[in-house]
Chains A and B, each alone.
Chain A
Amino acid sequence: MSGPSREPEPAVEVAEVSKRFRLELNRPTSVKEAVIRFGRRDVRHLWALRDVSLAIEQGSFFGLIGHNGSGKSTLLRLMAGIHRPTSGRIAARGRLSALLELGSGFHPELTGRENVFLNGAMLGLGRRQMAAAMDEIIDFSGVGDQIDAPVKIYSSGMYMRLGFSVAVNVEPEILLVDEVIAVGDEEFQQRCLHHMESLRAGGTTIVLVSHDTALVRRLCDRVGWLDAGRLRSVGDPDEVVDAYLVAVADRDGESGAAGR
């Protein structure tokens, strides 16, 4: 792990990244079907991201805004390594923890505790390290005794709280968060925000995808605005959010913009 300030290398570097998804309507789900429909298949390609370049500095709080379907979540998934870019290059430097959706990365059959270990393993942490953090994780999540029950019986709130608790308590160097704080009760939301702020104070780079422009303004150092897969602008939160809101207002009526 390189020193925090000696090397000004960005924590996340996105260089001319494009991502194309292959969509197939009525994709055959068996060999039998595939043989029957041989040659008559309806394949479409969707460009989720086009030529996106940005650099996220170490220790900064970066916000990503944009309409539904603008490619925010895709970009976050690329940063997390879940998807690979179709072209371009993406690099994340440091241990990365991602909270992409409700209860990211839990195996439904495993207990909460087993999932914590499994998540730790995925993040590159050993049993001893996870065991050391276990009490804090259970405490923060508030799932209590249910930690030893399979997560499939968890309520969506517990799922989400445990997911967040793991993601933030593993001392990530880069934390990717997609929208999750929008759910959960007020009190937990506040705790999440506090915790993210203290992580940032500790030097963690945070990338947050949100529709909540007020939150983005309050938390972020820089904001990127994605529009139909392209990076429309990036820079000071107030400027970018204002420009975005103007565009939303212009478009209003067209598509009932960004409901959430």
Chain B
Amino acid sequence: MAVNQPGSRTALLSPAARTGARLVRSFAERETKALYKRNLLGWLWSLLKPLTTVAVYSLVFGVIYRAAPPATANGQAEVFALYLFSGLVVWNAFSTIVNGSMRWMDGVSELRKKIYFPTETALVGGAVATLLQSSLEALVLVLIMTAMANVSWTLVFLPVAMLLAAMFALGLGFAAAVVNARYRDIQHLTTIVLSIGFFTVPIVYTPDIVPERAYGLPMARLVELNPLNSVIAVARDAVYFLEVPDAADLATAAAWSLSVFALGLAFFRRRSMAISEEP
């Protein structure tokens, strides 16, 4: 059979990996198009939402409550909005991927009943599209920081933080997607858990204002133990404090993200076959 030989560019990968990569690309393109085809402002439109969030929270916490942001590296960019934005960029990627996973799964579940393909590629594709979108947000943040002369090579750790957040989110998303395929109320539950989750991570507040104990709970310790806290801390060090992230934070973030991703994927692979067999 005369089958064209694959180009040398991708020949390094195994056939299965190549197929997977192509599918991820297809699904990522589809997600990106679906997001921006519908409106004229396109990509700009999508920036409006995070910027509005930053504006609203800055107004409430920065202006009304007069929360003081910690000092930046150059001592000139102490704007609460920027402190907030540097955490929000990571959180947005995280929550969009967790929520999106269920939608991406539903989008291909009919398809998967008719043709075999590794279903996880649809979720990874969605996550890639989300990361592209988040990079745009991150770019805006970096541009503002540049305008305020608060930049350094430590920026390279920002993509690392975003990637770790994405893997963490995908791990959770894999699990949520297969459970949601059977029990439809999981998506509502996830929305609730995520909106609570947002306030358990120091994004709109600084870690040092968390009381040691409250309601008999060791609050500060709990916030510190939250695995997402480490990821956000890495991002903030990179873009706000311009410090090399704490090795402990980096290690914690990486360990959590990689293990949650691996566990989620394993669970997904075990269960997704059964879903495609349902009538």
Known A1-B1, A28-B183; judge A119-B115 contact (CB<8 A).
yes
Query: Is A124 on the interface with B (CB-CB < 8 A)?
Result: yes
Query: Is A129 on the interface with B (CB-CB < 8 A)?
Result: yes
Query: What number of B residues sit within 8 Å (CB to CB) of A?
Result: 37
Query: Is A244 on the interface with B (CB-CB < 8 A)?
Result: no
CB distance from A202 to the nearest CB of B (A): 8
B30 proximity list for chain A (CB < 8 A)? 107, 109-110, 114, 118
Query: Is B64 on the interface with A (CB-CB < 8 A)?
Result: no
Query: Is A84 on the interface with B (CB-CB < 8 A)?
Result: yes
Q: Let me know if A104 and B114 touch, CB within 8 A.
A: yes
B10 proximity list for chain A (CB < 8 A)? 126
What does the 1/0 interface line of B83-119 toward A look like (CB < 8 Å)?
0000000000000000000000001100111111100
A202 proximity list for chain B (CB < 8 A)? 1
Q: Let me know if B111 and A1 touch, CB within 8 A.
A: no
Chain A's closest residue to B277 (CB) is A83
Known A28-B183, A31-B183; judge A124-B18 contact (CB<8 A).
yes
Q: Let me know if B107 and A29 touch, CB within 8 A.
A: no
Q: Let me know if A95 and B3 touch, CB within 8 A.
A: yes
The complex places the Cα of A30 from the Cα of B3 at a distance, in Å, of: 47
A171 proximity list for chain B (CB < 8 A)? 1-3
Within 8 A of A (CB), among B230-279: 273-274, 276-277, 279
The complex places the Cα of A29 from the Cα of B183 at a distance, in Å, of: 5
Query: Is A88 on the interface with B (CB-CB < 8 A)?
Result: no
Within 8 A of A (CB), among B14-35: 15, 18-19, 22-23, 25-26, 29-30, 34
The complex places the Cα of A236 from the Cα of B26 at a distance, in Å, of: 44
Within 8 A of A (CB), among B171-193: 182-186, 189
Q: Let me know if A21 and B116 touch, CB within 8 A.
A: no
Q: Let me know if A1 and B3 touch, CB within 8 A.
A: yes
Q: Let me know if B185 and A122 touch, CB within 8 A.
A: no
What does the 1/0 interface line of A16-30 toward B look like (CB < 8 Å)?
000001110001111
| Cross-interface CB contact of A124 among B15, B112, B114, B274, cutoff 8 Å | B15
Query: Is A106 on the interface with B (CB-CB < 8 A)?
Result: yes
Q: Let me know if B3 and A122 touch, CB within 8 A.
A: no
CB distance from B146 to the nearest CB of A (A): 36
The complex places the Cα of A29 from the Cα of B182 at a distance, in Å, of: 6
| Cross-interface CB contact of B189 among A31, A81, A119, cutoff 8 Å | A31
Q: Let me know if B186 and A31 touch, CB within 8 A.
A: yes
Query: Is B75 on the interface with A (CB-CB < 8 A)?
Result: no
The complex places the Cα of A32 from the Cα of B245 at a distance, in Å, of: 43
Within 8 A of B (CB), among A108-156: 109-110, 114, 117-122, 124, 126-129, 132
A173 proximity list for chain B (CB < 8 A)? 1
B26 proximity list for chain A (CB < 8 A)? 114, 117-118, 121
Q: Let me know if A98 and B115 touch, CB within 8 A.
A: yes
Q: Let me know if A31 and B185 touch, CB within 8 A.
A: yes
CB distance from A119 to the nearest CB of B (A): 7
The complex places the Cα of A98 from the Cα of B115 at a distance, in Å, of: 7
CB distance from A129 to the nearest CB of B (A): 5
What does the 1/0 interface line of B113-152 toward A look like (CB < 8 Å)?
1111100000000000000000000000000000000000
CB distance from B19 to the nearest CB of A (A): 5
Query: Is A241 on the interface with B (CB-CB < 8 A)?
Result: no
The complex places the Cα of A134 from the Cα of B8 at a distance, in Å, of: 22
CB distance from B266 to the nearest CB of A (A): 16
Known A30-B185, A121-B19; judge A84-B7 contact (CB<8 A).
no
Q: Let me know if B1 and A29 touch, CB within 8 A.
A: no
B18 proximity list for chain A (CB < 8 A)? 124, 126
The complex places the Cα of A202 from the Cα of B3 at a distance, in Å, of: 12
Q: Could you give 10 example pairs across A and B, Cβ below 8 Å?
A: A30-B184, A31-B183, A81-B116, A82-B116, A98-B116, A100-B115, A109-B30, A121-B117, A122-B117, A202-B1
Contacts from B to A (Cβ < 8 Å): 1-4, 6-7, 10, 15, 18-19, 22-23, 25-26, 29-30, 34, 107-108, 111-117, 182-186, 189, 273-274, 276-277, 279
